[in-house]
Amino acid sequence: MLILFQILFTMFVLFAIVNVIKRKQEGLLGPKGLFFWLIFWLLAIVAVLWPNSTTILANYLGIGRGTDFVIYVALVIIFYLLFKLHIKLESVGRDITKVVRREAVGEGVRNKE
């Protein structure tokens, strides 16, 4: 029998998958992103509906408990996403600089004329 958490989590995952598909349709997510997030949410739902599945994987990798395995994987993913986000922010910052610079130099040239 499903416990309340499993029902709520399944509903949340369905909501998340619908959102991922919407983002893809809007062109905000590429094929790689779509693949990553679909696999991510499907694995999450497998781990929640069949908790023993994570223990099997954990034992295979030499980790004691399935929960520990999930936490380790989650931490790695979170740090990776934070890194990617930081790089993206830096890149957007540099693009902003180019626009700000173009305006500043253009205004300087116009003032000179």
Partner 1 sequence: MFVAVVPAYNEEKTIGSVVQSLFAHVDKVIVVDDCSCDNTYKQALTSGAIVLQHKINRGQGAALQTGHDYALQIGADYVLHFDGDNQFCVEDIKPALKKLKDSGVDILFGSRFLDNRTQLPWFKKYILFPVAKIFNKICGVDLEDTHNGFRILNKKALEQITIEQDRMAHATEIPAKAKKLGLQYVEFPVKVVYHKFGQGLGGGFKVARDLVFGKFVK
The residues of the shown chain that bind partner 1, judged by CB under 8 A, are 86-87, 90-91, 93-94, 96-97, 100-101, 103-105, 107-109, 111-112
- Output the smallest distance, CB 33 to partner 1, in A: 17
Closer CB to partner 1, 3 or 99, in the complex: 99
Closer CB to partner 1, 74 or 104, in the complex: 104
Q: How many CB atoms lie within 10 A of CB 64?
A: 10
Give the C-alpha separation, 23 to 34, whole Å: 9
Closer CB to partner 1, 81 or 104, in the complex: 104
Q: How many CB atoms lie within 10 A of CB 57?
A: 15
Compute the CA torsion angle 81, 87, 88, 92 (nearest 10 deg).
160
